[in-house]
Structure 1
Amino acid sequence: MGITESPCRQEEWRKKLGSFMEMLFGGRYVLLLMSLFSIYCGLIYNEFFSVPFHIFGASAYKCRDSSCRDAHTTGLVKFQEPYPFGVDPSWRGSRSELPFLNSLKMKMSILFGVVHMNLGIMLSYFNAHFFGNSVDIRYQFVPQVIFLNSLFGYLSLLIIVKWCTGSQADLYHVMIYMFLSPFDNLGENQLLWGQRPLQVVLLLLAVIAIPWMLFPKPFILKKLHNERFQGRNYGMLNISEMDLEAEPDSARQHHEEFNFSEVFVHQMIHAIEFVLGSVSNTASYLRLWALSLAHSELSTVFYEKVLLLAWGYDNFAIRLVGLVVFAFATAFILLMMETLSAFLHALRLHWVEFQNKFYHGDGYKFRPFSFALLTEDED
């Protein structure tokens, strides 16, 4: 067990640090992790303060014209193997920089979102397994996994295949006509062998998963309630019997009074919310793309329109003012305000898109661990 400081010692530290430094000191581990992840992201984009660096070797692209100096006007052509790690720095400043990075960041946001939501659904399985609730596993966890991955898991697979093969297929067209015309020939948009029958099967699975989530659970709960209060054995349902004395009053009342219409409406709301939320939640992860784009453009503006503009004058005072403005803009806008904005968006994604897959908040009141509470309980 670690050594903890006394309350008097902690109060003394607060007085010495002040309110602002106390906040930084309290979040020192969060700041350390954020710094490490920012370095990693810088390596992913091969940039430092929005300046591209060829850290991992020469670029895979060169100017279309061998005598050119401006990639903005002539474009780039590929002449060797892809860049070994991260984004090729030569995309920076090219004519196709924005379309390329927009497409890359948008697809990465979708991949992160699908993985994150699948993780939330997996946690709902562990919740149901812990409480021995096989009804939630069979009629909630399984159809949710099938529905999400039949649509957006399939989209993630198409994104990865398109990256690996370099195909020019239009994924918007593929996903839209998967619903409108599932039996039509895909033509240039075909990425996989047997893609058309695979899409039909996935679409049928997604349609089947909706009533699977909606209808069985309320009827099974009604049957379980009737058998319980008629004194019959319901072990065949593989649901563990809970100790009513240890349950909250709301849970105990639920066992005593079963309102089928209320349970059915609640399950219907939950099913509709998951089905519609699968679309809106996946789209909500595109905020990662928007934040990255905004941060990149702000970095570019401060670097090119402040620092480089001031450095273009042969005057020490102007250069000093430009350097000071660039330093303060970087520290207070990019590092502080942008960090707060990213934190709030990440908090929102965790609370809404991630935790609504497994967290209900209708059990016991949360009591955080505290040594002070342990001593009070002992007394």
Structure 2
Amino acid sequence: MSVTWSFVSYTSREETFLSKLDSFTEMAFGGRYVILLMALFSIYCGLIYNEFFSVPFHIFGKSAYACRENSCSDAYTAGLVKVRDPYPFGVDPSWRGSRSELPFLNSLKMKMSILMGVSQMNLGILLSYFDAKFHKNALDIRYQFIPQLIFLNSLFGYLSLLILIKWCTGSKADLYHVMIYMFLDPAGDLGENQLFWGQKELQILLLLLALVAVPWMLFPKPFILKKLHKERFQGHSYRFLGTSEMDPDSEPDSARSRHDDFNFGEVFVHQMIHSIEFVLGAVSNTASYLRLWALSLAHSELSTVFYEKLLLFAWGYDSLIFKLVGLIVFAFATAFILLGMESLSAFLHALRLHWVEFMNKFYHGDGYKFKPFSFATLADDEE
């Protein structure tokens, strides 16, 4: 009873507090936990790139690069050589301002986006397995989950593996060339693009698995559902794919919903659309994660422009007024553009990636209505 009373008192205090807020502040208060997580992740990304408002910091020790000669006058554009082990954490700060900064960071961010995307899509497919297992639907496990997992990882899982191998070995292989000619000339000589022994044979095997996975997704399930309906209609008892003896409560939802009115053409077309959508989506969804690369690049370049073209430009004058105006403009540009608009943009893009690229692997939206967690509903249930 005391627990229920604490829930009710907390809810009443929260409602009193929200009634005193305007609409914009109330929206920010409702998303306070999301804002906190975004802030913590922004700090983490700053440590990954070892930057603070586009200013490089040697937080974790000395750079791996140094000037070749003591008389080197332009260490950020020429004359740098590697003198010690790689930087212990994140990006080496000496890349900032160098001639190779943009090509290096472009390649790094693009590959990181692909790795994050493939990892999250695999997680979505894995959740579809638990969803099918919860509903005791062996059809979806055997003819959707398994071939989807094989297809995605035969192509883009393999690309992720190549990225990791290239990072670990320092190879100069062109991964674009490897992936393109994996389809155009799978038996061709890889030459300098070979990263490990047996790569050509592995590519042929993965390509065959990807080709097999497509009809695996498309054809078996509709025909099994047809046979399932026919046997059920004739009143025969049977066992279905290793599950318990079929009854209206234990059989798959996909089969149970078609006992009375089973249209094979409709089921086949639906499965064909689902299969084609997954195959094409595997390419487009992976490419969609490259928006992380684009957003990171835009944010970094905006930070550099505000720092160098506003703050440092104004700081170059001897006038205190110029310095003060430059500092004020820099502060407002940072607060409203980098912290405000860029945060909103990152949130919307992340929301889109979760809703489309991630959730379309397992979410169907045909169950009960979603109810978000609330202390008020818990109090009502206790009463």
Q: Secondary structure at the match of 1:169?
A: coil
Counterpart of 1:293?
Answer: 297
Q: Distance in 1 between matches of 2:171 and 2:363?
A: 40
Please say which of residues 62-71 and 197-206 is displaced more in the overlay. 62-71
Q: Does the 8 A contact of 1:56 with 1:84 survive in 2?
A: yes
Matched, 1:325 2:329: yes
Equivalent residue runs for 1:6-25 within 5 Å: 6=9, 8-25=12-29
Counterpart of 1:308?
Answer: 312
State the shift of 1:251 in Å: 8.9
TM-score (norm: length of structure 2): 0.92
Equivalent residue runs for 1:1-379 within 5 Å: 3-6=6-9, 8-74=12-78, 76-239=80-243, 254-370=258-374
Per-residue CA distance 1:248-281 (angstroms, 9 max, x = gap): 9x99753321100000011011111111111111
Q: Secondary structure at the match of 1:31?
A: helix
Aligned residues: 377
Q: Distance in 1 between matches of 2:75 and 2:38?
A: 34
Q: Secondary structure at the match of 2:20?
A: helix
Per-residue CA distance 1:202-229 (angstroms, 9 max, x = gap): 1000001010000000001111111122
Q: Distance in 1 between matches of 2:68 and 2:293?
A: 29
State the shift of 1:375 in Å: 7.2
Please say which of residues 335-344 and 221-230 is displaced more in the overlay. 221-230
Q: Distance in 1 between matches of 2:354 and 2:380?
A: 34
Rate the CA distance shift 1:174–1:253 in 2: closer, same or farther, 3 A: closer
Q: Secondary structure at the match of 2:103?
A: helix
Q: Distance in 1 between matches of 2:331 and 2:81?
A: 36
TM-score (norm: length of structure 1): 0.93
Q: Distance in 2 between matches of 1:11 and 1:144?
A: 46
- 1:170 counterpart letter in structure 2: D
Q: Distance in 2 between matches of 1:173 and 1:296?
A: 29
Please say which of residues 5-14 and 349-358 is displaced more in the overlay. 5-14
Q: Secondary structure at the match of 2:58?
A: coil
Q: Distance in 1 between matches of 2:375 and 2:25?
A: 25
State the shift of 1:73 in Å: 3.7
RMSD value over aligned CA atoms?
Answer: 2.4
Q: Does the 8 A contact of 1:109 with 1:288 survive in 2?
A: yes
State the shift of 1:68 in Å: 2.0
Q: Does the 8 A contact of 1:53 with 1:89 survive in 2?
A: yes
**Structure 2 unmatched runs, 5+:** none
Q: Secondary structure at the match of 1:235?
A: coil
Rate the CA distance shift 1:256–1:376 in 2: closer, same or farther, 3 A: farther
Please say which of residues 143-152 and 31-40 is displaced more in the overlay. 31-40
**Structure 1 unmatched runs, 5+:** none
- 2:112 counterpart letter in structure 1: M
Rate the CA distance shift 1:367–1:47 in 2: closer, same or farther, 3 A: closer
Q: Distance in 2 between matches of 1:373 and 1:83?
A: 51
State the shift of 1:371 in Å: 5.8
Q: Secondary structure at the match of 2:115?
A: helix
Please say which of residues 72-81 and 277-286 is displaced more in the overlay. 72-81
Rate the CA distance shift 1:377–1:296 in 2: closer, same or farther, 3 A: closer
Q: Does the 8 A contact of 1:76 with 1:94 survive in 2?
A: no
Q: Distance in 1 between matches of 2:72 and 2:8?
A: 65
State the shift of 1:31 in Å: 1.9
Identity of aligned pairs, percent?
76
- 1:22 counterpart letter in structure 2: E
